[in-house]
Amino acid sequence: MTERGFLAVAPGHSPTRDLLAAAARRRGMDVVGLSGPAAAHTLRGRPGGHYYGGPAFAARTADALAVALLEPTDDWLPSLPRTYTRRRITNGTLAEARRLARPAFIKPPSDKSFPAAVHADGSRLPTGPDLPPHTPVQISEVVTWAAEFRLFLLDGEVRTGSRYAVFGHLDVAPLDRHPRRSAVLSFAERLLATHGHTLPSAVVLDVGLLSSPERGTTEEVWAVVEANMAWFSTCYAADPGRALDVVLRAAGPHARLPDRDRPFRPRAGTTAPGPPGAVRVRSGDAG
């Protein structure tokens, strides 16, 4: 894939940022390291802008770069049939989550306003002036993932992928050489055949193998962990060049935004800082 233009990257170094920048340079793109929001404004009017970095920085620079940032809708995961999630997932508010008297995995639906984690109950959820009671949250039943995989999707196809965790701990391996590659791709294909239209054309999908089979079966049980914006995701052991294809579509020129992707642009003012796709060690649901 040949892509003209430039890739603007947010401040701060990370392995994924450096790998994507190197892949962009190999295909002849300029890579512009942004030192701050003011640096993005010097690029205003320059065509062919793309972006990789955090959502808080993106919220202050996307207009100047003229990029359209694609991300899944907040209700995407709760709206999936249980055959794909294998657990109960609901959206609510922080006030509702604080009243929980049972263990649950609680996270912001899309931003990183507080760390995703399993809580014994709602009493110890984070507090602060930036977390009012109406803050949106996602509440999930606690499950244990035996293995988790990250897939970079473009136009309904898996372009590259990586295992990134085993029982909640970082354990990276390329998907191409993984013994469960066929099972991962088969599950993703089934999901995309029925629900691919509910995701942006460029997105990251995390799927996982549950640690024990469901009652009455000895077969492996696969489920969706979550979906993420590609322009804020770690590629782990995925192929950087193929991952870049997805990133460029997910955060590319607004003028090239396809009509089918217009529902998947993030709302203004809903982003907050957080690590770009970092694994959160957990014994339950995904973050």
- Cα 64 from Cα 58, distance rounded (Å): 10
pLDDT single digits (tens) 107-157: 988 767 788 889 999 998 999 998 999 999 999 999 999 999 999 999 999
pLDDT single digits (tens) 186-210: 999 999 999 999 999 999 999 999 9
Q: Which residues contact 250 (CB under 8 A, 6 or more apart)?
A: 69, 70, 71, 200, 202, 203, 229, 230, 231
- pTM of this prediction? 0.88
pLDDT single digits (tens) 22-40: 999 999 999 999 999 999 9
pLDDT single digits (tens) 239-270: 999 999 999 999 999 999 999 999 998 753 33
pLDDT single digits (tens) 143-192: 999 999 999 999 999 999 999 999 999 999 999 999 999 999 999 999 99
Give the per-residue pLDDT at 115.
Answer: 87
Give the phi and the psi of residue 209 in degrees, each rounded to 5: -100, 120
Mean pLDDT of the chain: 89
Q: Among 128, 69, 135, 48, which Cα is nearest to 96's?
A: 135
Give the per-residue pLDDT at 287.
Answer: 31
Pairing of strands 202-210, 145-154: antiparallel
| Virtual torsion, Cα 225, 199, 264, 135, nearest 10 deg | -30
Domain ranges of the chain: 89-140
